[in-house]
Amino acid sequence: MKELLLQSAQYNLWANRSIIDTLLALPGNTAHKELNSSFPSIKDTALHSWSAEYIWLQRLQEVAEPLWIQGMYVGLFKEICNNWIKTSAQLVDYVKQIDKNSLSDICTYKDRKGNAYTTPVWQILHHVFNHATYHRGQLVTMLREVGATQIPGTDFIAFVRQ
């Protein structure tokens, strides 16, 4: 299972880098343009994606008061993208360093509403990578809506064919 989760973490980093390269190449304030999606702009979708990876990583690392970046971040779009990549790379490192037996350990955490949950580490990791795929798909649609024509393929099979 560890090998599969490590490959998923590496794929997540690769796919995020691919889409972020495209996001950072957008002209002007395109990332801030209002669009009809789960989040109102490319910037907000990227911020959510980074925030989600970041809070789950903190929960896995047993940070007492994990930060929900999305609710407080006021920085630049480029910083969002750079921090998203850093967090994705930290997830790769986390999976590399965790003992395979610890993947079944139970992670106890609270959601943003304060509700307590317990979930095995491997299920959280699986969720994080699946969640990222969902929002990358939204970003592809949003990129098309703003007229981007050079959108990278981020399918898993493209990653393993490298």
Tell me the CATH number at 35.
Answer: 1.20.120.450
pTM over 0.85? The answer is: yes
Confidence of residue 114 (pLDDT cuts 50, 70, 90): very high
Q: What is the pLDDT of residue 89?
A: 98
The parent domain of residue 11 ranges over 2-160
Rounded-to-10 torsion of CA 85, 61, 116, 37: 0
Confidence of residue 17 (pLDDT cuts 50, 70, 90): very high
Quick: pLDDT tens for 50-75. 999 999 999 999 999 999 999 899 99
Task: Tell me how many domains the chain contains.
Answer: 1
Among residues 153, 143, 154, 155, the alpha carbon closest in space to that of 23 is found at 143
> Looking at this protein, which amino acid is placed at residue 142?
M
Cα(129)–Cα(62) distance, integer angstroms? 19
Q: Are 19 and 140 in contact (CB under 8 A)?
A: yes
Q: What is the pLDDT of residue 85?
A: 98
Among residues 10, 14, 5, the alpha carbon closest in space to that of 152 is found at 14
Per-residue pLDDT, averaged over 102-125, amounts to: 97
Q: What is the pLDDT of residue 148?
A: 94
Confidence of residue 16 (pLDDT cuts 50, 70, 90): very high
Q: Are 4 and 58 in contact (CB under 8 A)?
A: no
The whole-angstrom distance between residue 42's C-alpha and the CA centroid of its chain comes to 14
Per-residue pLDDT, averaged over 21-39, amounts to: 95
Confidence of residue 90 (pLDDT cuts 50, 70, 90): very high
